A = this chain, B = another copy of it.
Amino acid sequence: MTAAQTLVAGANEEAQYLEDLIRHGHLLPSGEPGIYGRGVVFEHVRTSLDALITRVCAPDHPETPRFPPVIPKRTLEKAGYLTSFPQLCGVVYSFCGNDASAIEIAERAERGDDWSRHLSPTGVTLVPAACYPCYPAVALRGPLPKGGITLDLGGCYVFRNEPSQDPARLQMFHQREMVRIGPPDEVHSWRETWIRRARGIFETTGLDATIAPASDPFFGRKGKLLANNQREQGLKFEALIQIASERPTAVSSFNLHHEHFGSAFGIQQHDGTVAHSSCVGFGLERITLALFRTHGIDVRDWPGQVRRQLFPEDTPPGE
């Protein structure tokens, strides 16, 4: 096949898989690419996967704070997100005009015309990665205890502005994220531990994952340099699984930040030095889609061992 033929075949395969998922009630289309409701069986698998990660996470005895999917715009700015990924951000706009503008908005909205000129930016943006809200919250508490801290942030909704026909590329999805903040060596070895744990999770759920060095989708020409740098320094590893598209999809990542967040938000270790951090994230919808792709669209057909691992205490709804 030529490169163009491969692209077309990939797009057809994505479309076919999406159709299957919709026909079985796993995804409910909204009319907008990358935004779907989810059926009861899909959600059972997704939350069971979340619970499995909680069991794997238990030896860390993490703190478990929870954050909403919006953060102050200033947090995104301080984290340097706009330097790296402006194309993915989601800034919230709203209306603070008068009666006359409100009438024009209503009329334009009814016709489906553009009504954006009456909107202005609020102070909040959508959360682009589950760990962002935790850094300022941790900094506020003062210096870390000796050895640092471990956080489990749960399965948070995060937003990426990347509408796509690929069912594995959602605009908003659950990122199950854990964060380690502390001394450089502990932070590094914790990431290595999670790479091993992730291999175990994929193995016992029958998923064929490859874990390899990776880079973030940095914006623009300068971005290529940043990406090469990140890859050379081994800052990011990703777990890749074949889902809908021609190329394998990243379902999980394991990231070293060095002093980036500690320095941006002023997080100090017990001895006053800047804290290092690392995080690991699992894309719950992507792994759920990988499970359906690998083991079949009907959970009743999945291998017994995979079902026992995911559903140790109950069977999926409708069985």
Residues on A close to B: CB < 8 A? 28-32, 35-40, 43, 63-72, 74-77, 80-83, 86-99, 102, 105-106, 109-110, 112, 114-116, 118-124, 126, 133-134, 136-137, 140, 157, 159, 161, 163, 170-173, 219-222
User: Would you give the shortest CB distance from A30 to chain B, in whole angstroms?
Assistant: 6
Q: Are B112 and A93 in contact, with the CB atoms below 8 A?
A: no
Q: Which residues of B contact A99 (CB under 8 A)?
A: 220-222
The distance in angstroms between the C-alpha atoms of A99 and B157, with both chains bound, is 29
Are A30 and B72 in contact, CB atoms less than 8 angstroms apart? yes
A219 adjacent to B30 (CB under 8 Å): no
Q: Contact between A87 and B92 (Cβ–Cβ < 8 Å)?
A: no
* Distance of A194 Cα from B90 Cα, bound (Å): 37
Which B residues lie within 8 Å of A28 (CB)?
65, 67, 137, 140
By beta carbon, the residue of chain B nearest A141 is B28
25 contacts between A and B (CB under 8 A): A28-B67, A29-B137, A30-B67, A30-B133, A30-B136, A31-B75, A36-B68, A37-B66, A37-B67, A37-B68, A38-B66, A39-B65, A68-B157, A68-B173, A69-B69, A77-B109, A77-B112, A82-B109, A86-B95, A90-B122, A91-B93, A91-B119, A93-B93, A122-B163, A123-B163
Which chain B residues border A87 with CB–CB below 8 Å? Answer: 94-96, 102
**A37 surroundings in chain B (CB, below 8 A):** 65-68, 133-134, 137
In whole angstroms, how far apart are the Cα atoms of A161 and B29 in the complex?
Answer: 27
Closest to A90 in B: B92
Closest 3 CB pairs between A and B? A82-B109, A32-B72, A94-B161
Instruction: Return the contact of A40 from the options B36, B38, B65, B126 (Cβ within 8 A).
Output: B65
Query: Chain B contacts of A119 at CB under 8 A?
Result: 91, 121
Are B140 and A69 closer than 8 Å at their CB atoms?
A: no
Best-surrounded residue of A70, A87, A137 (most CB of chain B within 10 A): A70
Which B residues are CB-close (under 8 A) to A110? 77, 80, 82-83
- A86: chain B residues at CB < 8 Å are 95, 97, 102, 105-106, 118
CA distance A70 to B33 in the complex (A): 12
CB-nearest residue of chain B relative to A82?
B109
Contact A140/B29 with A38-B65, A43-B66 known, Cβ cut-off 8 Å? yes
Q: Is the CB of A89 within 8 A of B94?
A: yes
**Closest CB of chain B to A260's CB: distance in Å?**
14
Q: Would you give the shortest CB distance from A24 to chain B, in whole angstroms? A: 13
Q: Check A31 against B74 for contact (C-beta < 8 Å).
A: yes
Tell me the complex Cα distance, A78–B316, Å. 35
Residues of B within 8 A of A102 (CB): 86-87, 219-220
User: Which residues of chain B come closer than 8 Å to A91, judged between CB atoms?
Assistant: 92-94, 116, 119
Measured CB to CB, the nearest residue on chain B to A121 is B116
Residue contact B157 to A157, C-beta cutoff 8 Å: yes
Q: Are B68 and A83 in contact (CB under 8 A)?
A: no
Instruction: Name the residue on B nearest A88 (C-beta).
Output: B94
